[in-house]
Every structure is written in structure tokens, then in C-alpha cells.
Chain A
Amino acid sequence: QKEVEQDPGPLSVPEGAIVSLNCTYSNSAFQYFMWYRQYSRKGPELLMYTYSSGNKEDGRFTAQVDKSSKYISLFIRDSQPSDSATYLCAMEGGYNKLIFGAGTRLAVHP
């Protein structure tokens, strides 16, 4: 079993839709949870990070962490074609190492 599971998609939605992206994990020791966005043939860019359980909102993006279920989510409201990318969840696995999910490919069509 992988430490971090993420559905690779692809996920296709119409412009303006609410997008829900999710990851599950197995290690209850994880405390820091991150979401990265990666455009094709580019390096990942940090979108949001959350410490422990709870919600965090930044503009159209909301990150949720449920440690009891070992489940994290990223919601994108009013999705735009420019949001089309691969979204990677990541968790800090000790010694500042990041463990990434497989990434979910999102396509937002006009």
C-alpha cells in the first residue's frame, strides 16, 4: 500500500464548476499537508499548506484536512480553464522530506 493515494483522473469539468480533489494517507504521524499545482513540463508550485486538521481558504481554493479519516481535500470554486493542470498532494514525512501523491490531472473546458 502506498503511503499517499491519489486518483490520477483525468477529471474534466466545465468552466465555473466546483472541483473536489482528494488524497488519502496511511501514516497517522503526518502533520503538514500541502497541495501543489503542476503545469505540463513545469515544476510544481505550492498552492496551499495546512498544519494538522481543519480548513484553510485562499481565494477560490479551500484545503481541508481530516486526520481522523486520514483524508485531505482541495476544493476549487468557479473553476477556470487556467486551472487545468495536475494537482499533487504532498505530506511532510519527516526530515522535511515530502511524500507526493500520484497527482490528479484536471481539465476545465470553456
Chain B
Amino acid sequence: GAVVSQHPSRVICKSGTSVKIECRSLDFQATTMFWYRQFPKQSLMLMATSNEGSKATYEQGVEKDKFLINHASLTLSTLTVTSAHPEDSSFYICSASRFAESYEQYFGPGTRLTVT
């Protein structure tokens, strides 16, 4: 149980275009979903927290107009990188929490974004 998927696993896009990444909880309803980015050989940095049906909460320094998060249902959250630039190239990972009071997060396999 507690499986989280991400799609696509890898995407290459041109500078200036937008890319959407999907995060799904396959066998449970996720009260909260989190989006992280990870640069090579570095740790995970939390970008934003989203709850179903409400606006995402962004961490300091993360541009909400650039990284659009939609959490339309209890099993799906999407991250759209708008007007992507090469410096947005990174590994994006989502996680989901089953219970509102739970610290346990289940991570997706990640999406490798390369902006050319």
C-alpha cells in the first residue's frame, strides 16, 4: 500500500515552454501533497505544500506564479513549471500524506526535467 506515481518520469522541453508534472496516490486518498526539487548530489528542498481544494502554500523563495500547483482531488496534484528556463532543470519529487496529522510521507519516483 501507499504507492505514489509521477508522470512523466523524464521530460525535455525548450526554454520558454511550460511543463506539467502529475503526482497520483494510487491506493489511498492523500490529504496533503508536497512538492520537492533535488539538485544533483543535494538533498530534497521543499517547494510547496498542497491540500485538496485549497491553494498551495509555497516555501520562501519559491515563485508561485512560476510553479503552479493544482490539487484538484484527493489522489491527484499537478505541478506546472511555466516559462521554463535551463536553471529550472532539476529532479522534481512529490510526496503524499495519508492523514492530516501524520508526518509520514510517501514519495513518488520523481521526474527529471531538462530545459534546453
Contact = CB atoms under 8 A, between A and B. Distances in A.
Secondary structure at the B interface, as helix, strand, loop or mixed, is strand
A97 B44 contact: no
Interface residues of B, number: 25
Interface string A70-110: 00000000000000000010001001111111110100000
A8 B91 CA distance: 18
Nearest to B93: A43
Contact of A32 (B6, B97, B103, B110): B103
Contacts of B109: 42-43
Nearest to B110: A43
Question: What's the interface size class on A, roughly?
Answer: 20 to 34
Interface of A: 6, 8, 32, 34, 36, 41-46, 49, 88, 92, 95-103, 105
B54 interface: no
A97 B95 CA distance: 11
Given A101-B43, A102-B43, A96 B107 contact: no
